[in-house]
Each structure stands twice: as C-alpha cells, then as structure tokens.
Amino acid sequence: MSRDNVLTLAKISDITTRINSEQDLHSLLTVIMDSARELLHTEGASLLLYDEDSGDLIFDIARGDRSQLLAARRIPKGQGIAGQCAESRKALIVADAQNDSRVLKSVDEATGFVTRNLIAVPMLARDRLIGVLESVNTLDGRDFDSKDVRLLTFLSGMAGIAIHNRKLYQDLQGRVEELNCIYEISRTIQQHDTIDELLNSILGAIERVLELERLSLIMEDQSEEGGYRITRTRGFDVQDEDIRIGPDQGVAGIVLRSGKPLLVRDVQKDLGFTPENAERYKTGSFISVPIMQDDRVIGLLNAADKKNGMPFDQFELKVLSTVGSQLASAYLRIIARRRESEIRQYRKDLETAAQIQMNSLPEIPGEIAGIRMAARYEACRDVGGDFYDFHYHSESILSLVMADVSGKGVPAALFMEYSKTLLASNIPIFLHPVRTLEKVNEEIFRGSRMGLFVTAMLIQVERDLSRFRIASAGHNHQILYRKSSGDIESLSAGGPPLGAFPNANYKETIVHYEPGDLLILYTDGITESHNKNFELYGEERLFALVPELGKEEPQDVARRIMEEVAAFRDGVEPSDDTTLMAVRL
C-alpha cells in the first residue's frame, strides 16, 4: 500500500470518528462539508438535502468562499448537475463547468463564485435519497477522477446513514423526554389499575346516581389511526360501540371543536332536528361534556334519556362536567401509570442487558502461560460499546483484543456483541492478526446496515520468540513499557476501522519484548475523558503515569489508571466507555 493510500485511510478513519461523534444535526452537516473539502482538496463543498414533497434539492449547508449566499437556495427537480445526479442516483463529474450546458449558471451568477470543475454524488440511506453531496474546484487544478468518486461516494454513504440516524435519534430523544416527564408527573397517583375498570366504574356510577337510560364515552384513539371513537356505552345496542367519530360529525363534533359543554333540552327546538332524527331520543334532551387534557379535548361524556322522562338541567350539567374532569384526571393517570410500567420494564431490561454484557466479557485469569494480566471496564451508559478479549491457543501463543464500537448505548452494545463474536470465531482459525481483521472486516461490512463500525487492536503474543504481532483496525495507539530501560513505546499498525468499507488492507507490526515488560491496551475513553473545563486527560498524562506504575502488578496498574482518570474528571460524568487491560509479559 502506498503512503498516499495509508494517509487516505487514516483520514477516513478520522472523518468517520468525527461524523459519528456529532449529535447535533447542523454540526454533523458542517463536519460532512468540511470533510468533503479536506478529503478531495477543493475550494468548496455543498450538501443539498432532498425535499420529498417538491422533489427539489435545497442547499442546507455549503462551505467555501461565498457559501453563505447559497443557504436555503432551491434547485428544481432534475435541473443542474445536482438535480441530474439526484434523479439518476449516479455520480457525475464536470471537467469544464463554464462550458458545460448541464451546469446551472444561475448559481454562480447569484454568488459571484466561479465554478471550474465539480463532482456530485447521490447521498442515500436504506435506498432512500437523502440528498446530493458536491465538491467544487480542485485546489491543484487537476480534474476529478474515479478515485475522487470512490472517496466522495464513501463519504456520502456514511453521511446519508449518519443524517438518517441523527433524525431517528432526535425523534427517539423527544420520545424519551416525554416519557420521563410522564414518569415524574404520575409517581404519586394511585387509584384504578386499568382503563376498563375506570370507564365501567364511572358509567355505572353515573347511570345509578342520575338514573339515566343511555350513556356513551367517546375517547381519543391512541392507535396510529388517530381521531375519536365510541369506547363505552350503556343503553345502546352492542353494534353502536367502537364507531369512529370525526370533529365535523353531528352534535359530538360541536363539542369536540369548541371544547365547551353542551346542554340540549329539546333537540327539535334547540338544534333543529327533524322529527325522524329526534325520535332517537326518548325525551329529546341530552348533555355532552368534553373530557379535557389542558386545553385539548381527549374525549366526550354523553348522557341521554333520564328515566323520569324529564329534560336535563344545570344540575346534571354541573355533575357531569365535574365527572368529566375527574375522568380526565383518572384516565390520564392510568395511561401515565401504564407508561411508567413500560419505562420500569425498559430500565429493568437495560439493567439485564448490562449484566449480560458484563458476563459476556471474559473473566481474565490472574496468570496464564507465564503472563499476568488484569482488565477494567466501565460503560458511560447502562450498556456500552467497548470490549476486550483474550484467547489461549497454547503455552506459547496468546491473543489479546481491545476494541471500541462507534456510538453509545443499546445500538453500540448490540454491535459490540456481534463484532466480538466474529473476532472470537476467526482468531483461532487464522492465528494471524492481519488475516483475521481482513476476514472480520468483510463480515461486518456485509452484515452492518446501520453505519456503525468498530476500531480494534489485535495482538498475538508468541512467547517462544519473545515477540508479539500487532494488527490495528483504526484503533488508538497502545503502550509498551520496557522494564529494563524504563522507556515507553507507542504501538500502532495501519488499517481502517472494521466495517468502514470493503476490501480493506491491514499492516502488521512485530515487536520484540523482554520478560517483565508491561503492555497496556485501552480505548480512547481513557484519553478523551474531560474535566469541568473540557480539558482532555490526553495521551501525555497517561504516558507520564505508566512509568510510575511500571513495576506494579497488572491489577494495581489497571486500578490506578482508572482512579487517576476518574480523579481528573472531578465528578464529570464520562462521555465515553472506558476500558483498560494491563499485561505483564
């Protein structure tokens, strides 16, 4: 592999990390644009998002000279290079933009920017068009070529999935915040256990106390269909239940729209009912009161036909209005309790998942085949994406793994288990770090559709040769402490993260060691821990600490490093999983 390709792979690894680190959508789009300019060495770059309603492309983000003049500008469907790229879903290269009729000259005219050459690629996620990614004007005057297409296509694919996932994440975050609010509000409420019990109880009480022949409850439909439906009746035929009601239908529609109670003493005089319609009511009188949540109507309580044949009056109206208010409170309380139960179950599931994840990590023996080791792992959430592993092949050969999945939480934890299983099944087959990573990379790339990837360091210790072989999949540098000299060595090898793209190449580094040397494997959650001033712990502090611990036992080394990092954070919650393995060779 040439030096340029190695640099490109390293740059891709950096871009991937930056894209997956951004939580805010606007910041993510800015990173994508800056990455496009940096990756292709161009004057400018733009990201046009696809508007599904109109089919237009919208300049959401542009970077470069005069880019601010492009903000929110629309490109009609099929027009210009971007429009044709979106329509065909194929990459397009323009070598001479000033003389190419496909190029929209109005964009340059509006901004004063002169486009010499450009490249455009579609941005897709799950076969849906997200937008178009463009890069314009190479800095060295060269023409764009197929290599640029591959690089920008790779970036656009990663960007499309990242944008799609960010939107899903924002939607999920809004839902979680809603459930948390419901949990806090409903903690002290204790009455009816189910909606059925509540509705049957209230209708029975109203029927008994007010001596009514007919009652109905219309409630907001909680399903995806929305709207309102009749959920309970008394004195109606069974087929009258579960009828859907719209806000523009009949008397119910009047109350649904206004949110005000309605008392009708005579349907013919008050509402102009025909005699045929009025025959539906024995007394010609009824009441409909709204069931409110704040200022929103979530249902109706309807009463008709007093058993004594008299019309309703203000007394029944006040009673039913009060009952409607109580019903709203109780109904919402039960819904909140049900959601609280779901949240409790979700949290219980997370705790179970965290325990399963901890149990899936190997129990590190204090000593095996003459090598002493210890490991520490802390997830920044209930479940995490870091993992470590070791494999005993013989008295002379051991394999050590340190890995970090992009992202956090449940998706990262699931992807971690998937990646760990693939590594564990392939390591003993190949007994060759590079071949193992190449095989696992292909499996992960084919199996992952979420845009996640994993960095990993695979070290094969060969005791009979007093050496170890290293292969790295975009993982941060590891540490070797030389006991005899007290020197620190930074360990690395070339290669992209697992699952980043197919047909990846990995380099092997061979390091000889002496008995007593100390190997420290860790994830970037250690060095990227920060304090209240957002100052990073950093490699410099870690490298300075290791010589102080050079002669201690592995379990003490691991404990001390984790304690030092926690003390540095000074109460700040970790923003990433932290994992560490100390190995005395």
Segment of 152-156, 251-255, 317-321, 530-534 carrying the highest mean pLDDT: 530-534
- Let me know whether 440 and 517 are in one domain: yes
pLDDT of residue 275 exceeding 80, the answer is no
Q: Is 345 among the domain residues?
A: no
| Domains in the chain, number | 3
- Let me know whether 160 and 234 are in one domain: no
Handedness of CA 341, 344, 350, 352 (dihedral sign): negative
Contact 79, 88 (CB under 8 A): no
Give the CATH number, domain containing residue 272.
3.30.450.40
- Let me know whether 169 and 199 are in one domain: no
**Residue 447 structure tokens:** 């199996």
> In the predicted model, what is the mean pLDDT of residues 333-337?
78
pLDDT of residue 6 exceeding 90, the answer is no
Residue 428: count other Cβ atoms within 10 Å of its Cβ: 13
Question: Over the Cα atoms of the chain, what is R_g?
Answer: 33
Q: What is the pLDDT of residue 269?
A: 79
pLDDT of 399-449, one tens digit each? 999 999 887 777 777 888 889 999 999 999 999 999 999 999 999 998 876
pLDDT of residue 185 exceeding 60, the answer is no
Last residue of a domain, one of 277, 302, 337: 337
3-state secondary structure (DSSP) of residue 476? coil
Share of the chain above pLDDT 90, in %: 35
- Let me know whether 205 and 162 are in one domain: no
Q: Is 342 among the domain residues?
A: no
579 Cβ contact partners less than 8 Å away, ≥ 6 residues apart: 375, 376, 377, 378, 386, 387, 388, 402, 404, 522, 523, 525, 526
- Let me know whether 119 and 155 are in one domain: yes
Average pLDDT score, the chain: 82
Q: Is 353 among the domain residues?
A: no
Q: What is the pLDDT of residue 191?
A: 55
175-189, 236-250, 502-516: least confidently modelled range: 175-189
- Let me know whether 17 and 156 are in one domain: yes
> In the predicted model, what is the mean pLDDT of residues 328-350?
74
pLDDT of residue 308 exceeding 80, the answer is yes
Question: Where does the pLDDT of residue 334 fall: very low under 50, low under 70, confident under 90, or very high at 90 and above?
Answer: confident
- Let me know whether 152 and 205 are in one domain: no
> In the predicted model, what is the mean pLDDT of residues 9-38?
73
261 vs 224, more confident: 261
pLDDT of 202-222, one tens digit each? 787 778 777 888 888 888 886
**Residue 339 structure tokens:** 């959601």
- Residues 2-14 as b or e (16 or more Cβ within 10 Å = b): eeeeeebbeebbe
Q: What is the pLDDT of residue 488?
A: 95
**Residue 434 structure tokens:** 């590079």
Contact 289, 261 (CB under 8 A): yes
> In the predicted model, what is the mean pLDDT of residues 228-247?
70
Question: Where does the pLDDT of residue 36 fall: very low under 50, low under 70, confident under 90, or very high at 90 and above?
Answer: confident
Q: Is 182 among the domain residues?
A: no
362 vs 297, more confident: 297
Q: Is 344 among the domain residues?
A: no
Q: Is 348 among the domain residues?
A: no
pLDDT of residue 175 exceeding 50, the answer is no
> In the predicted model, what is the mean pLDDT of residues 250-260?
83
pLDDT of 76-91, one tens digit each? 888 889 899 999 999 9
User: In which region does residue 182 sit, left (phi positive, over 0), alpha (psi from -120 to 50) or beta (all else)?
Assistant: alpha
Share of the chain above pLDDT 70, in %: 82
Q: Is 351 among the domain residues?
A: no
For residue 489, give Cα distances in angstroms to 244, 464, 482, 484, 520.
73, 22, 8, 13, 10
Q: What is the pLDDT of residue 491?
A: 95
Q: What is the pLDDT of residue 348?
A: 66
d(CA 566, CA 131): 43
Sheet holding 371-378, edge to edge: 367-368, 371-378, 578-584, 518-522, 478-481, 488-491
Backbone angles phi and psi of 141, in degrees to 5: 80, 0
pTM: 0.48
- Let me know whether 227 and 161 are in one domain: no
Q: What is the pLDDT of residue 177?
A: 43
Torsion of CA 567, 573, 575, 580, to 10 degrees: 40
Q: Which residues pair with 297 in a beta bridge?
A: 292
pLDDT of residue 278 exceeding 90, the answer is no
Segment of 77-91, 189-203, 239-253, 278-292 carrying the highest mean pLDDT: 77-91
d(CA 329, CA 477): 58
Q: Is 57 among the domain residues?
A: yes
pLDDT of residue 540 exceeding 80, the answer is yes
Q: What is the pLDDT of residue 391?
A: 94
Instruction: Report the amino acid identity of residue 510.
Output: I
- Let me know whether 160 and 208 are in one domain: no
Give the CATH number, domain containing residue 573.
3.60.40.10
DSSP state of 240: G
Segment of 18-32, 109-123, 366-380 carrying the highest mean pLDDT: 366-380
- Let me know whether 424 and 537 are in one domain: yes
Last residue of a domain, one of 138, 173, 208: 173
- Let me know whether 435 and 560 are in one domain: yes
d(CA 558, CA 563): 9
507 vs 286, more confident: 507
> In the predicted model, what is the mean pLDDT of residues 474-496?
94
Q: Which residues pair with 518 in a beta bridge?
A: 481, 584
- Judged on CB neighbours under 10 Å (0-12, 13-18, 19+), 292 is middle
Question: Where does the pLDDT of residue 355 fall: very low under 50, low under 70, confident under 90, or very high at 90 and above?
Answer: low
pLDDT of residue 151 exceeding 60, the answer is yes
Q: What is the pLDDT of residue 440?
A: 95
Range of the domain at 457: 362-584
Question: Where does the pLDDT of residue 251 fall: very low under 50, low under 70, confident under 90, or very high at 90 and above?
Answer: confident
> In the predicted model, what is the mean pLDDT of residues 504-520?
96
51-55, 224-228, 336-340, 352-356: least confidently modelled range: 352-356
DSSP state of 558: H
**Residue 174 structure tokens:** 């809004």
- Let me know whether 378 and 311 are in one domain: no
Q: Which residues pair with 457 in a beta bridge?
A: 402, 472
Residue 260: count other Cβ atoms within 10 Å of its Cβ: 11
Contact 97, 82 (CB under 8 A): no
Question: Where does the pLDDT of residue 12 fall: very low under 50, low under 70, confident under 90, or very high at 90 and above?
Answer: low
Specify the pairing of strand 467-473 against strand 478-481: unpaired
pLDDT of residue 17 exceeding 50, the answer is yes
Q: What is the pLDDT of residue 71?
A: 47
pLDDT of 38-83, one tens digit each? 888 898 888 888 888 788 888 765 554 444 434 457 888 888 898 9
Q: Which residues pair with 377 in a beta bridge?
A: 579
3-state secondary structure (DSSP) of residue 76? coil
Q: What is the pLDDT of residue 464?
A: 94
pLDDT of residue 323 exceeding 70, the answer is yes
pLDDT of 90-107, one tens digit each? 999 999 989 998 888 887
